[in-house]
């Protein structure tokens, strides 16, 4: 056996090991996960748009973050176009992810809630930073900044209390 053949076989074995570790890596979520998530979000938005009673969403923090998003969205047209599709879009995505995390946590058991709530808290802190950055680059004026920060601070206090109550149990 030549030395070249041995080296080739070793490299090939390393590739097999590498591919074995990648076999558990999920590039695309399964159909079941996609449909479960889309069904959940579809029901949320159907209930919101039909103005049906939202008993399952009768959570004070949900109402506050929903109101924050409505205010945030109403400021969209006043943001310069150069910032609207970069910084503003990032803020909007983070705020929607926070809203989604709060809704998911409200439907989970106490054991499962803590990581989701901590993720929502992290996203809310990111939102604060990006809104501050939007003010500093003059994408929004000070009046809008103060309104968004006041609502974000209130939601942060509510979320912190919820996290504390889940940790105590």
Start-end of CATH 1.20.1440.60 domains in the chain: 53-169
Instruction: List, in order, residues 6 or more apart from 25 with CB less than 8 Å away.
Output: none
Of 124, 155, 130, nearest in space to 145 by CA: 130
Higher pLDDT, 35 or 44: 44
Q: What pLDDT does residue 52 have?
A: 46
- Residues 119-129 have a mean pLDDT of 97
Q: What pLDDT does residue 114 have?
A: 94
Q: What pLDDT does residue 18 have?
A: 47
Q: What pLDDT does residue 38 have?
A: 55
Largest Cα–Cα separation, the chain: 78
The span from the CA of 130 to the CA of 113, in Å, is 26
Instruction: List, in order, residues 6 or more apart from 122 with CB less than 8 Å away.
Output: none
Secondary structure (DSSP) of 27-48: SS--HHHHHHHHHHHHHHHHHH
Which of the four CATH numbers 3.40.640.10, 1.20.1440.60, 3.30.420.40, 1.10.3720.10 does domain 53-169 have? 1.20.1440.60
Q: Is the pLDDT of residue 127 over 50?
A: yes
């Amino acid at each position: 056996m030549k030395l070249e053949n041995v080296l080739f076989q070793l490299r090939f074995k390393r590739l097999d090991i590498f591919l074995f570790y990648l076999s558990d890596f999920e590039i695309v979520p399964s159909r079941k996960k996609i449909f479960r998530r889309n069904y959940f979000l579809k029901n949320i938005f159907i209930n919101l748009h039909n103005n049906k009673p939202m008993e399952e969403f009768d959570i004070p923090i949900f109402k506050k973050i929903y109101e924050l998003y409505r205010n945030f969205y109403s400021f969209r047209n006043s943001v310069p176009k150069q910032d609207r599709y970069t910084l503003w879009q990032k803020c909007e995505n983070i705020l929607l992810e926070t809203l989604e995390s709060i809704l998911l946590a409200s439907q989970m058991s106490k054991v499962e809630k803590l990581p989701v709530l901590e993720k929502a808290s992290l996203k809310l802190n990111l939102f604060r930073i990006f809104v501050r950055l939007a003010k500093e680059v003059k994408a929004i004026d000070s009046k809008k900044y103060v309104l968004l920060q006041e609502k974000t601070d209130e939601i942060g206090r509510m979320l912190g209390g919820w996290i504390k109550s889940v940790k105590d149990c």
